[in-house]
């Protein structure tokens, strides 16, 4: 599947590429990341290959990520209109100012104006709430976003890193009040983070939200770079997010990724990305790259079509433990379907069910 096989994002008409270019690494302001020249090279190559979906945030590299995108795309109106730019509010760039971040109306409007300035554009295609703000009523957030859509400063809205019940509340309020609806949900999703399959993914599919997974390689843990053999070196080389993830279960998944990579003449990272992109509900997977060659390696995942048995092997090794009631509901069909198959899902007969008519009151 090439990058030019676009998909509509959730219940909207917005066409986006199946991979979205994540730009958290644009700029070296955090002591690591891509230089301005490397960032422009990555952007140019992504667009050249047909990618049209770019994701950033107001706080990425202290705002430099947005500025780099703006410097590259903003001056060319034709290029700007061909690209779907997504950015986020919530992060605070002003220490000491309680209204510098969060999801209140004052913050949202101010953050939007600042992002528009850095991006050198007069509209944002997709505006995300970066995280749930526990201190702001969701009605206030959704109404402020609706006002930005009505003003033409934002085209579509979405939520990121927010509990399923709060997303559902926000979408329901928007629908009943005639406000701009949510069209997308950004969440962490990978072979090492599948608990989202309990509530968030089913909720997104039910409410018309296209899922855009972040960290599909779990900060590089699933890239194939970290194996049992180099465990000590890996733990010395990377931060806690990587080292904390390494363990027997993870190494078993990595081993399987390596085997499937050999079967498909691909890389372990490409296999891991292909698995995420094929999941139900996923619209466009966010990929990151610090160098142009890393971008090419990630894009290669679109050429992979995993066989059913390969997917099953990865599914089995990475099977998550879901929170209540999802684990319980997995066996609920036993006492609701009477041993029949409904919508392709078979069931067994509940052992405590009546055996015949005489055994029933």
Residues classed as catalytic:
60
- Is beta strand 15-16 parallel, antiparallel or unpaired with respect to 7-8? antiparallel
Cα 215 to Cα 314: distance, rounded to the nearest angstrom: 17
C-alpha–C-alpha distance, residues 233 and 242, integer Å: 12
Between CA 125 and CA 147 the distance in angstroms is 15
d(CA 206, CA 58): 30
Question: CA-CA distance, 173 to 176, in Å (whole number)?
Answer: 5
Q: Which two tokens stand for residue 331?
A: 């066996």
Q: In the numeric block, which tokens belong to residue 186?
A: 């950004």
Rg (CA), the chain: 22
Residue identified by tokens 């050198």 is 120
The angle formed by the CA atoms of residues 286, 277 and 59, to the nearest 5 degrees, is 15
Q: Which residues make beta-bridge pairs with 105? A: none
d(CA 70, CA 49): 20
Q: Is the bond preceding residue 325 a cis peptide, omega within 30 degrees?
A: yes
- For residues 200 and 172, the answer to whether their CB atoms sit within 8 Å is no
Q: How far apart are CA 178 and CA 181, in angstroms?
A: 8
Quick one: which of 28, 31, 53 has its CA closest to 210? 53
């Amino acid at each position: 599947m090439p990058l030019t096989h676009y998909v509509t994002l959730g219940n909207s008409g917005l066409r986006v590429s199946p991979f979205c270019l994540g730009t958290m690494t644009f700029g070296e302001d955090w002591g690591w990341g891509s230089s301005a020249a490397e960032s422009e090279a990555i952007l140019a190559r992504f667009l050249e290959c047909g990618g049209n979906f770019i994701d950033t945030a107001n706080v990425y590299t202290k705002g430099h990520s947005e500025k780099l995108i703006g410097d590259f795309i903003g001056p060319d109106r034709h290029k700007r209109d061909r690209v779907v730019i997504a950015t986020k509010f919530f992060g605070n760039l002003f220490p000491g100012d309680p209204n510098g971040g969060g999801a209140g109306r004052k913050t949202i409007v101010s953050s939007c104006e600042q992002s528009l300035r850095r991006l050198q554009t007069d509209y944002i295609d997709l505006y995300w709430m970066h995280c749930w703000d526990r201190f702001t009523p969701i009605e206030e957030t959704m109404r402020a976003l609706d006002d930005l859509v009505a003003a033409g400063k934002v085209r579509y809205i979405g939520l990121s890193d927010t509990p399923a019940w709060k997303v559902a509340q926000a979408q329901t309020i928007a629908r009943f009040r005639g406000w701009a609806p949510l069209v997308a949900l950004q969440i962490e999703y990978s072979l090492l983070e599948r608990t989202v399959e309990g509530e968030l993914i089913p909720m997104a599919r039910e409410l018309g939200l296209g899922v855009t997974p972040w960290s599909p390689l779990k900060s590089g843990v699933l890239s194939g770079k970290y194996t049992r053999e180099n465990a000590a070196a890996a733990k010395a080389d990377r931060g806690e997010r990587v080292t904390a993830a390494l363990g027997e279960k993870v190494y078993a998944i990595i081993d399987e990724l390596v085997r499937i990579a050999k079967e498909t003449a691909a890389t372990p990272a490409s296999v891991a990305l292909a698995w995420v992109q094929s999941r139900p509900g996923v619209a466009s997977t966010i990929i990151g790259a610090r160098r142009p060659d890393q971008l090419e390696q990630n894009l290669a995942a679109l050429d992979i079509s995993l066989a059913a048995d390969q997917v099953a092997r990865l599914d089995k090794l990475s099977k998550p433990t879901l929170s209540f009631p999802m684990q319980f509901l997995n066996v609920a069909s036993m006492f609701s379907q009477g041993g029949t198959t409904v919508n392709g899902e078979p069931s067994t007969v509940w052992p405590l069910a009546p055996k015949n008519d005489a055994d029933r009151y």
